[in-house]
Amino acid sequence: MPTNETWMSKVEQLAASEQETLLGTSLSRRFARLPLWLNHPANIGAFYGLLVALALILPYAFGDEGNEVWAVQWLYHTSLLLVACAFLGFISLLLVAFSKRHPVTPPRAFLYPMPFLGLALLTVDRTGLLGMPALLVWTLLLLPGPVYVHLSWAPRWRLLCMVEDGNDPFVGLEPKNEGTGDAEEMVGEDAEMLEVVDAFESE
């Protein structure tokens, strides 16, 4: 079985646009450094569920006065979060296996604030200041992780597995235009401008 270094070296030999598709942005690149068995979409989904569960400790511990079994309640909900997020990761991987689609950039500006807003609403609800709809609170808390896994990580993990197996995930796809030809056409035969273009490309 190829090692992590082997398939990463294969990725490094690909074009810059193809590397961007396989590795994504900073978050996906961190997951990509892990062994493929560890960064399975179900594991990434469960990891998100664990992060949400850890953020819920304070609202559960101090939200209801006299609640002596908050730890049991928190552990129960934590287990539900882990199972639900891992299951959604499996579902995303199955859908991607059928659709064969490539990763899509998730709407970060929309997704990133949602867990914080959900945590704030849950805190308000647990302290008894205002009653919040449970469906709204849990949707805000849970939606970002599974959406990221479905749109970005599950397709990317499938492509990385193809690279590890020695297959080319970009067979049949037209390579993206890196813009080199356009730049050279714009500067024409101007030697100084061509030197600037070459220096920029080398960087």
pTM score: 0.74
CA–CA gap between residue 201 and residue 203 (Å, rounded): 5
Phi (first) and psi of residue 127, to 5 degrees = -80, -10
Residues 194 and 166 in one domain: no
Q: Which domain holds residue 9?
A: 4-172
Residues 148 and 202 in one domain: no
Contacts of 199 (CB under 8 A, 6+ apart): none
Residues 87 and 132 in one domain: yes
Residues 60 and 114 in one domain: yes
Are residues 111 and 148 in contact, defined by beta-carbon separation less than 8 angstroms? yes
Copy the structure tokens of residue 89.
Answer: 């990761």
First to last CA, the chain: 35
Model pLDDT for residues 89-145, shown as the tens digit of each residue? 999 999 999 998 888 888 888 888 999 998 888 888 877 777 788 888 889 999 999
Which has more pLDDT, 64 or 78? Answer: 78
Q: How many CB atoms lie within 10 A of CB 85?
A: 25
Residues 83 and 182 in one domain: no
What sign results for the dihedral spanned by CA atoms 121, 127, 132, 133?
positive
Residues 96 and 195 in one domain: no
Model pLDDT for residues 15-45, shown as the tens digit of each residue? 666 667 677 777 888 888 888 889 999 999 9
The total of structural domains in the chain comes to 2
Residues 152 and 201 in one domain: no
Residues 158 and 181 in one domain: no
Are residues 142 and 85 in contact, defined by beta-carbon separation less than 8 angstroms? yes
Residues 91 and 167 in one domain: yes
Q: How far is CA 188 from CA 115, 149, 183, 185, 199, in A?
A: 52, 45, 9, 5, 16
Residues 10 and 52 in one domain: yes
What sign results for the dihedral spanned by CA atoms 110, 102, 99, 28?
negative
Residues 181 and 86 in one domain: no
Residues 190 and 92 in one domain: no
Which residue type sits at 162? Answer: M
Which has more pLDDT, 203 or 92? Answer: 92
> In degrees to the nearest 10, what's the CA dihedral of 106, 108, 111, 115?
130
Which has more pLDDT, 62 or 90? Answer: 90
